[in-house]
Homo-oligomer: A and B are copies of this chain.
């Protein structure tokens, strides 16, 4: 997966189109920056204050979009540089995350936030590494 830095994460603002009865929210198009291939789309829910950490994909590029609620993401690279990003209804964007970064995330909205990942490969447990929450020091508590 080469040398990857937290600076390699690409943020792309997304459009929310106002529609009577319910808005339309863009997520990702084949021709968008950050799109390489389609493998799988799946959702993760995250409850207010809850933390899911840490995980690292060795092959998957993630395209993360939060249409409901608000989520804090924390990314860590091999140089132990941290990058904290928040996205959700109020700051609606797509985060393209290359393989090789550790990350965790925390729900910042009640009762829960919804995260879509449009990944370039299908889920494959053999390319996922995990660490316990305490294995990488980060103060999640101040936001719960």
Contacts and interface: CB of A to CB of B under 8 A. Distances in A.
Interface of A: 19-31, 38-47, 50-52, 67-68, 107, 112-114, 116, 118, 122-123
Given A23-B45, A30-B122, 7 more contacts: A22-B45, A24-B42, A25-B43, A25-B44, A28-B40, A29-B41, A41-B41
Given A41-B118, A68-B114, A50 B29 contact: no
Contacts of A26: 42
Contacts of A41: 27-29, 41, 116, 118
B24 A44 contact: yes
A26 to B, nearest CB: 5
A123 B31 CA distance: 11
Contact of A50 (B22, B27, B42): B22
A84 to B, nearest CB: 19
Contact of A27 (B21, B29, B43, B113): B43
A114 B52 CA distance: 23
Nearest to A26: B42
A50 B19 CA distance: 11
